[in-house]
Structure formats: C-alpha cells, structure tokens
Structure 1
C-alpha cells in the first residue's frame, strides 16, 4: 500500500476539512441566531478561527514536514 499523499487520507469523514469548516460556520451561525449577542458571536468566531488555524493549517503543515523529514514524501 503506498503512503498517503495527504494527512486527510488518514482521517475519518468527521475530521475532514469540509466537516471542520461546516461545523465552525454552524457554531458561529447558531450563536448569532440563538443569542443575538455580538460579543458572544465574536468570541465564538475567534475560537473557531483558532481551531481552523490549528487543524486546517498548522497540523497539515507539520504532518507534511514530518513526512519530508522521514523521506516519505
């Protein structure tokens, strides 16, 4: 079996970029629709943005770097 080309090939459906983005948008949207408090929605947006940065940018970059260091990609 060839090594995966992307970290996303190793993850289940609920941990794919599309599901991470949709969940984040749903949380921010629900915050606004249910509470109508901009400061809570802004706080949720900051937390979701940090979550996206970690899981959609930093984690794949670290995985790619680790694969390059092992000679696997």
Structure 2
C-alpha cells in the first residue's frame, strides 16, 4: 500500500537502509551523490546521512563547505 498524506499526495518513505544500499563499504561519497542515486532532495539525504553517522553506521568527514561520508565495513 502506498502512503498518502492528508490531501491524498504520495509520501515517499525515506529509510536509512536505502542509503546504506547505495553506499559501498569504505568508499567516499558526497551528499549530492547519495541524493542523486536515490532521487531524494539533498537536504533529506544529508539528514539521513547525519543520522546514520550519529548511530555509528557511517563515518562523517567534514571538509570546507561539504562532508564526505564513508560506510563502515
């Protein structure tokens, strides 16, 4: 069943497992790469990536004006 909002609009579920599915272990990714691969807005991808980093599922390497994300093994 497809999730719908109050006005009947489609609500896409965005799950951390989707992000992990597009990241190869120990390979670096930028937020834009993950967002593009999943067809998500960059802000949404960033929030999910940040949550995964907080949980220790991926590493976050902050750099000037961007972050590099690396999936653990």
TM-score, normalization: structure 2? 0.28
Structure of larger gyration radius = 1
Larger relative helix fraction:
1
TM-score, normalization: structure 1? 0.28
Larger relative strand fraction:
2
